[in-house]
Structure formats: structure tokens, C-alpha cells
């Protein structure tokens, strides 16, 4: 009797089935691709949001600067004239520092501190006022950095003389006190000064009436000067029994649009930034849309709407919130394809397994004559030996 370890007579153990495609690896790969796409979408969405915020901020700053350029700074007050109902003697007594009836500082601040008028000294019929119209600029941008000054004048002239007047702005870096009289030239061709003439039909500055004059200068410090063409008639009864002429004959209020000289050039500089931010936001939005809606990126709006409606009817879900449902549907379809492939592979492997079982059955009938120790030494496992014993 031959020992069972001879190679030809020793039955071989059952062989394993051939390897097939691992569906778990397929699902893991798909999951990795989906996570990568979600990270990309998150980055693109964050970039799109930041670009949109830049647009809103730039547009907001531009709107604020442009809006504030139309709001002037005001100086002076024509709402009341504390001299209007007083005689020249009473006005002189109140305004003369040597008079016992002189106004206290509180009364001056309450009645006339904010006024631009000719009632502040004894030169009735004219006044001078320092105006700061922004910081002087070394560059000239034409109308962009022009400063418009609107002067509202109210007349109280009582002597019956001509109400024609000169009014103008004179560049005075050191103030009105240091302005030479030779610099005061009433050139009617200049935009910084003008002459308003009285006519019989229309007085230049009627008593109790107002007149608006708009002058244009460059930023800097100026002296505002007003002068009646006809001097005051100090022989008028209103000036009787007084040697000082304090009584107001003109009052004024000034609206200065000097912030516009700085804000409009800034708006011009910010405008290209706004255009660039809008273009960047459009590009960021387009990039986000191409990744989130890859199938509809090349389709028209009508085609996208029709495809979305058909998908809703077919799948029973709302696709307006994004393309996540499309990804899940594709993943489900891929899983079904993978399952079908796996089933086909298993069907193909059925016959070899049956053949191997038949071979094992045939060999087990001859192996039953050997002992368990001899079969183990030949490479059999305990399960194979038990199965062979049961079959025999």
C-alpha cells in the first residue's frame, strides 16, 4: 500500500474562485471624488461671496462719498437781525465797548456771534469775512476740484440810496487783515467775484429782500468782501446824534461746497475699482456655476429650466436647491451597475465552482481510504476532511 503523500494519488484541496471587481473600492473612490467636488464648491462659494462683498463695499463707499459731496458747510445766519428794530443811538450804545450799555459776551454770542454782516463795526455798508474753503491743492483737475460758494444776502438799507453792490472772494492765505488793498480788484470777468447792479424795475438788494450769488474758486483760504457801490448817507436821520455807524444794512449766509473738491476726485479714482470688483464677482459666479451645474453650463436658460422640470417629474424631487440630488442619483445608478456587474461575475464563476466540487467529490472517494493524519500531511484541512467523510 502506497503512502498517501504521493503527488499523483493525493487529492488536491478545493481551489478559490477567481477575484472580481471590489464594489467597496468603487464606492470609496466615488465618495472621494464627491468630497473633493464639495471642497471645491465650498472654496468657489467662499470666493464668490468675498467678491460680492467687495462689490457692495466699493459701491457703498462710492455712494456715500458722492452723496456727501452735495452737502455744503454753512456759515452765517440771516434768520434775524438784532439791529432791525433799534435806533442808531441804541445800536451804538449796545455795540460801543466804551458804553455802559455795551452787550456782554453772552449777549454777543446769543445775538450776533454767528452772523456775517456789516453790524459788527462802524463801517456800515460793507463787511469782510474769512472763509476756509478746504486745503489748497497743488494740482488742478478742472471742474472736479472747483469749490462753489453760494452767498445769500439780505438787505436792510434805510437811506434810500442805490443798492448796487460788489461781492467777491479774494485769496488770502493769512486772512482778511493781511490782504493788501491793491489785491481788491473788482474784475467782472472772474468767477470769484461779481457786481450786481440796481435798476428801477429790480433793486439789487431791496430792503427786507434776499439775493443769491454763486461764486467759484479753487480750494484754499479766502476773504469774502461785500461793498455797496454807493456809500452810506450818514446825514440820514437814522444816524442823528451819533458819531459811530454800527447799524446793519446787509446780512449774509454762506454755503460752502468745498468737500466736493476732495470727494469727487476720490469718486473718480474709486470708479475703476468698482468696475474691476464687478468683473471679478461675475467671473467667480461663473466658475462656481460651472462646477455646481456641469451639465447645464453650456445650455441656454430655457434648456436648463426644461431639464430641471423633467428631472423633477422623473425623480420626484426639487432640483432648484442645487445639484446634490443629481449626484446621489448618479451614485445610485453607479451602485446598481456595479451590483449587476458583480452578479454577472458571480454567475460566470458558478460553473467553475461546480466543476471543482465534482472534482473534489471524485477525489474524495479515493481519499477515504487514507487516515486523517495522512490527509493533513498531504495538505488537507480539517474542514475538507470532515466534508469528505460526510460525503462518503
3-state SS of 294-315 is CCCCCCCHHHHHHHHHHHHHHH
Tell me which residue of 97, 115, 103, 102 sits closest to 248, measured CA to CA.
Answer: 115
Q: What is the pLDDT of residue 184?
A: 87
Closest CA to 15 of 354, 389, 366: 354
Give residue 352's pLDDT: 47
Q: What is the pTM of this model?
A: 0.59
pLDDT of residue 311: 62
**pLDDT reported for residue 337:** 55
- Closest alpha carbon to 370 in 389, 343, 347: 389
For the chain, list residues with pLDDT below 50. 1-2, 6-8, 17-19, 319-329, 343, 347-356
Do 41 and 287 meet the contact criterion of CB atoms below 8 Å apart?
no
Would you kindly state where each structural domain of the chain is located, as residue ranges?
28-71+264-292, 73-258
For 286: left if phi > 0, alpha if psi spans -120 to 50, otherwise beta; the answer is alpha
Q: H helices of 205-252, where?
A: none
For the chain, where are the alpha helices, taking DSSP H only? 23-68, 88-95, 105-111, 260-292, 301-315, 324-348, 350-367, 372-377, 382-391
Amino acid at each position: 500500500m502506497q503512502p498517501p503523500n504521493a503527488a499523483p494519488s493525493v487529492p488536491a484541496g478545493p481551489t478559490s474562485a477567481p477575484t472580481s471587481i471590489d464594489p467597496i473600492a468603487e464606492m470609496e473612490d466615488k465618495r472621494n471624488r464627491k468630497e473633493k467636488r464639495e471642497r471645491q464648491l465650498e472654496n468657489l462659494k467662499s470666493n464668490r461671496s468675498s467678491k460680492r462683498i467687495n462689490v457692495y463695499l466699493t459701491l457703498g463707499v462710492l455712494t456715500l462719498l458722492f452723496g456727501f459731496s452735495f452737502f455744503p458747510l454753512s456759515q452765517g445766519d440771516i434768520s434775524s437781525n438784532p439791529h432791525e428794530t433799534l435806533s442808531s443811538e441804541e445800536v451804538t450804545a449796545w455795540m460801543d465797548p466804551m458804553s455802559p450799555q455795551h452787550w456782554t459776551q453772552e449777549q454777543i454770542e446769543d445775538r450776533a456771534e454767528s452772523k456775517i454782516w456789516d453790524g459788527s463795526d462802524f463801517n456800515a455798508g460793507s463787511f469782510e469775512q474769512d472763509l476756509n474753503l478746504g486745503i489748497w491743492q497743488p494740482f488742478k483737475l478742472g471742474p472736479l476740484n472747483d469749490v462753489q460758494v453760494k452767498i445769500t444776502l439780505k438787505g436792510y438799507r434805510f437811506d434810500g440810496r442805490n443798492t448796487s453792490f460788489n461781492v467777491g472772494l479774494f485769496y488770502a492765505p493769512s486772512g482778511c487783515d493781511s490782504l493788501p488793498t491793491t489785491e481788491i480788484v473788482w474784475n467782472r470777468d472772474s468767477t470769484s467775484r461779481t457786481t450786481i447792479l440796481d435798476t428801477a424795475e429790480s433793486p439789487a438788494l431791496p430792503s427786507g429782500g434776499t439775493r443769491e450769488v454763486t461764486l467759484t474758486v479753487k480750494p484754499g483760504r479766502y476773504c469774502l468782501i461785500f461793498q455797496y457801490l454807493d456809500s452810506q448817507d450818514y446825514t440820514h436821520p437814522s444816524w442823528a446824534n451819533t458819531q459811530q455807524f454800527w447799524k446793519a444794512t446787509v446780512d449774509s449766509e454762506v454755503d460752502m461746497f468745498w468737500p466736493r473738491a476732495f470727494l469727487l476726485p476720490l469718486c473718480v479714482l474709486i470708479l475703476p475699482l468698482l468696475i474691476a470688483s464687478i468683473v471679478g464677482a461675475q467671473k467667480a459666479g461663473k466658475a462656481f456655476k460651472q462646477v455646481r451645474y456641469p451639465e447645464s453650463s453650456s445650455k441656454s436658460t430655457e434648456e436648463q429650466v426644461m431639464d430641471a422640470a423633467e428631472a423633477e417629474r422623473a425623480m420626484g424631487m426639487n432640483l432648484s436647491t442645487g445639484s446634490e440630488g443629481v449626484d446621489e442619483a448618479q451614485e445610485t445608478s453607479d451602485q446598481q451597475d456595479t451590483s449587476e456587474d458583480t452578479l454577472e461575475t458571480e454567475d460566470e464563476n458558478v460553473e467553475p465552482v461546480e466543476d471543482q466540487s465534482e472534482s473534489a467529490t471524485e477525489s474524495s472517494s479515493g481519499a477515504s481510504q487514507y487516515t486523517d493524519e495522512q490527509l493533513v500531511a498531504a495538505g488537507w484541512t480539517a474542514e475538507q476532511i470532515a466534508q469528505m467523510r460526510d460525503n462518503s
